[in-house]
Amino acid sequence: MLFYAIASGNRHAQTDGIAFPLYFMTAMAAYGSLFAAFAAGGHIALDRAKGWNRQLRLTPLGPRAYLLSKVAAAYLGALPCLGLLYLAGASLGVHLSLAHWLEMTGLLVVGLVPFVAMGIVLGHFVSADALTPTVGGVVVFFALFGGAYGSFFNHGVTLAAVKLLPSFWLVHSGKAALVLGG
């Protein structure tokens, strides 16, 4: 709903020479997938709080399989988010070739790797009660400085600093299709 409220009123606007719905869709795809990537940590923290991790140690499930299941869950949470944003973008006039849609999705999926890892680490070190505000703050930090809300840092030392953040590259990987298909 928020996507439609913002993007539909700016359907014919341009941002950095790109149609606003396309620009906004890619930014929100990065933002939404950030939250989904950190969700694996929430499941781990809940498992720890309920004592489920101790129970799992009694089963033949190894640590590698447990970790891979949490990584898979994070990605399975991100894909519906991307799909819904793509549908919303397409309904507002975003037109890309299938190759560009797939390229953008692939780049976003690869760009999520450090965030899935951070989510898993947070899940192991932060309590279940504190995880939601922690993840919210971390995601907003990365989204703000990565450029999901727009480019605030366009030159100088600040641009060099934000380029050190993986979220900068996540947002720009999502926007790679803009250069090719926009």
pLDDT tens-place string over residues 62-98: 888 888 988 999 999 999 989 988 888 888 788 888 8
Task: Give the integer Cα–Cα distance in Å for 70 and 54.
Answer: 16
Better-scored residue on pLDDT, 125 or 94: 125
CA dihedral 141, 143, 145, 149 (to 10 degrees): -130
Condensed to tens digits (0 to 9), the pLDDT of residues 11-68 reads: 666 666 677 778 788 888 888 899 889 888 888 898 888 888 778 777 887 888 888 9
Q: Which residues are within 8 A (CB) of 54 and not within 5 positions of it... i.e. 6 or more apart?
A: none
Torsion sign (Cα): 108, 109, 113, 115: positive
The pTM of the full predicted model, rounded to 2 decimals, is 0.83
CB 116 within 8 A of CB 37: yes
